[in-house]
Amino acid sequence: MQAVGARKIRRAWCFAAGVAILLALPLVLSAQPRSGNTALALQVTPEARLMPLQVTLRFHVSADGSASVMSQTAVVEAWMRAAPQQQVHLEARLTAFSGPDGTVPPETVSFSGAVLSAAGGGQAANCTAGSFQDASPLDLAAGWERPGKLACTVAFSLRGAPALPAGDYTGTVDLTLAAR
């Protein structure tokens, strides 16, 4: 009687093992290497960080020249991961510049930048200088061709202050960071 019971147990184990093999077969076959080409596509999307996004300008021309504020400094920090073959553009645009007598021509404001710190592709960049001519954006940095970081100290100045009417002069410089 024990032999018959042992045979039934053995048969049950063989049946269970066969079922397990049949169930596992599709998993094993799908894990086998197949012929053909496999490709990995990696897409890097441009990313950018810019601080600040705006600089508010406040200059003061006193009547006797004793308490004039004709220069203002801002630190502009930019980080950009651009797509290959794109240059990084850090730009400034003067908006709504006015004085005691109303709107003041944009060429009254100039800027001069100096590199404060840089990393990666930002190390090849230079902070620029110039004066605003109209509402068009001007580059605050030149030569930035690869992903990286750049911080510029930018001095904004009121040009020709002695010839300007006494009073407060205000405006906004909008900053943008783009890859093209």
Is the pLDDT confidence value at 90 over 80? yes
Phi, psi of 167 (to 5 degrees): 145, -170
Task: CATH number of the domain at 118, please.
Answer: 2.60.120
Domain count, the chain: 1
In a domain, 68, yes or no: yes
Q: What is the pTM of this model?
A: 0.73
In a domain, 40, yes or no: no
Task: Give the pLDDT band (50/70/90) at residue 151.
Answer: very high
Domain that includes residue 63, residue range: 47-179
Q: What is the pLDDT of residue 69?
A: 87
With b for 16 or more beta-carbon neighbours within 10 A and e for fewer, the 141-164 pattern comes to: beebebbbbbbbebebbbeebeeb
Largest separation between any pair of C-alpha atoms in the chain: 123
In a domain, 133, yes or no: yes
Q: What is the pLDDT of residue 91?
A: 97
In a domain, 137, yes or no: yes
In a domain, 149, yes or no: yes
In a domain, 148, yes or no: yes
Q: What is the pLDDT of residue 174?
A: 97
Closest CA to 144 of 177, 174, 116, 112: 177
Q: What is the pLDDT of residue 34?
A: 58
Q: How far apart are the first and last CA of the chain?
A: 87
Question: For 12-16, 66-70, 159-163, which range has the lowest pLDDT when averaged over its residues?
Answer: 12-16
pLDDT digits (tens, 9 = 90+) for 97-139: 999 999 999 999 999 999 999 999 999 999 999 999 988 999 9
Is the pLDDT confidence value at 89 over 60? yes
pLDDT digits (tens, 9 = 90+) for 26-76: 555 555 555 667 777 666 566 899 999 999 999 999 988 677 889 999 999
Phi, psi of 15 (to 5 degrees): -60, -45
In a domain, 38, yes or no: no
- Per-position DSSP letters for 36-77, written without gaps between them: S-------PPPEEEEE-SEEEEEEEE-SSSTT-B-EEEEEEE
In a domain, 139, yes or no: yes
Distance (Å) of CA 180 to CA 128, 137, 153: 19, 14, 24
